[in-house]
Amino acid sequence: MKIHLVLPGLLWPNPNTVKPAADLDLAALERLLGHAHVHIANEKGFEPWLAREFGLSAGALDQTPVPYAALRRLGESGTAISDGEWLCADPVHLQFARDQLILSDASDLDITRIEATTLLDGLNQLLATQEPDFVRFEAKSPKRWYLRMKTPPNVSFSPLSDVTGRPIASYLPAGQADRRWQRIVNDIQVFLHTHPVNQAREAAGKRTINSIWFWGPGSLPGKLTSPAPLVLCRNRIARGLAIAAGVRPDVPKRLPQLDALVVLDNLLQPARNLDLDAWRKQLSHIETQWFIPVLAALKSRHVTELLISAPGERSTLEARLGAIDLWKLWRRPLPLDRVNDAAA
C-alpha cells in the first residue's frame, strides 16, 4: 500500500525563528525523515501544489489561472455543476502598520452567519446596477465568500494565502481591467466602513470586516485525474479537485487501507498566522495520530511506500521512503528543524 501524506505548513515560514520545533517529541517523524530520500524543491505554495497534483497548472503568463474559486465551492457543496465564472470574494481586515496596509484573513475574525448574510445582501443590492456582469455574492461559510460573474474578470489576482499577514501593495489586481477592479474594491470598502454590522463589531471590540479579497477566478475544469484512488482531506480546494476527478473524498481520521492521498492541513493556518504555539500543538497531534501509525505500518510492511510532501511559502519538502529503507541502520533520525534550515 502506498500512502502520500501532504502537510502544508510543516515548514515554518519565518526564517528568523530559531528551532521552531525544539523540545517537541517527534521521534517518529524524525525517523521517517532520516530514512527517507529528502529533496527540497524550489516550488512554493500549497494551492498551486495541489492543482499540479491533479494535473492543473496556470498557463503561460497566467492567462489561464487555476479556477480555485469554482473548485473550492465544489468542495463545499459536493455537487459538480458547471455554472459559469466564480471568484473567491473572501472577507478580510486591513490595518495600517508602518504606513502600509496589512491584510488579515477571516480565520480569527469570528464572523457569524447572520453578519455574512447581512453584508452580502447589501453588496448584492449595491453592485446589482453598477456591475451588470456580477450575478451574485454568496457565502458557503461565514469565512468563505464567492462572487458569480457572467464574464471573466480580465485581471490577475493574487491568492489570499500569498498576501495574508503582508502589505497588500504588491498584490493588487493587475491586467487590462485593473482600474475597474480597484474601483470595485474601493466601493466595497466604503460600503463596509459605514455598515451597521461593522459599527456593532467595533462597539463590541471586534475587528471589522473592512474589505474583500478577490482571487481564484474561473469556471470548473473538465474531468481531472486523481493521483490516488482514495483522497482524504478537509481542505475545500482539495475536496473540489478530488470531486472533479471523480473521487468522493473522505475526512482523514486514521491510516487508510488503500493507496491514498492524505491532506493534513492542521498546520497551515498556524503557519500562515505565525502562531508558533498553535503550530507546535498541531505538530504534536499529527505525530501521535499519523507519524507514529505510519511508521508502524512501514515496519509491518502494511505500507510499502510513503511519500511526504510539505508545500511551503519558500519551498517544498519531498521525502520518499519504502519499507526496506527502515532497515538501513546507518541512517540516523533527521530533526525537522534541520530540514527547516535547509529549506530557508
| Nearest partner of 317 among 10, 17, 3, judged by Cα | 10
Residue-level pLDDT, tens digit, the chain, 344 residues: 999 999 999 999 988 898 999 999 999 999 999 999 999 998 889 999 999 999 997 654 445 789 999 999 999 986 666 678 999 999 999 999 888 999 999 998 999 999 999 999 999 998 888 888 899 999 989 999 999 999 999 899 999 999 998 899 999 999 888 899 999 999 999 999 999 999 999 999 999 999 999 999 999 998 899 999 999 999 999 999 999 999 999 999 999 989 999 999 999 999 998 999 999 999 999 999 999 999 999 999 999 999 999 999 889 999 999 988 888 888 899 999 999 998 87
* Closest alpha carbon to 241 in 80, 82, 9: 80
How does DSSP classify residue 264? -
Nearest alpha carbon to residue 320 among 49, 23, 37: 37
Which CA distances in Å does 330 have to 34, 35, 47? 10, 9, 37
The owner of cell 509491518 is 300
Report how far Cα 213 is from the mean position of its chain's Cα atoms: 14
pTM score of the predicted model: 0.92
Strand (E) or helix (H) holding 89: strand 85-97
- For residue 122, how many other CB atoms are within 10 A of its CB? 16
Q: DSSP letters of 141-166?
A: ETTEEEEEESS--SSB---HHHHBTS
**pLDDT given for residue 61 in this prediction:** 40
Give the pairing of strands 260-263 and 2-6.
parallel
CATH 3.40.720.10, domain 2-51+223-343, yes or no: yes
Domain with CATH 3.40.720.10 in the chain: 2-51+223-343
The C-alpha atoms of residue 220 and residue 236 are separated, in whole angstroms, by 14
The answer to whether the CB of 139 falls within 8 A of the CB of 75 is no
| Exposure b/e, 88-99, CB count within 10 A at least 16 = b | bbbbbbeeeeee
Question: Considering only CA atoms, which of 53, 19, 1 is closest in space to residue 235?
Answer: 53
Cell numbers of 168, please?
A: 497588500
pLDDT at residue number 3: 97
What does the alpha-carbon distance between residue 256 and residue 234 come to, in Å, rounded to a whole number? 15
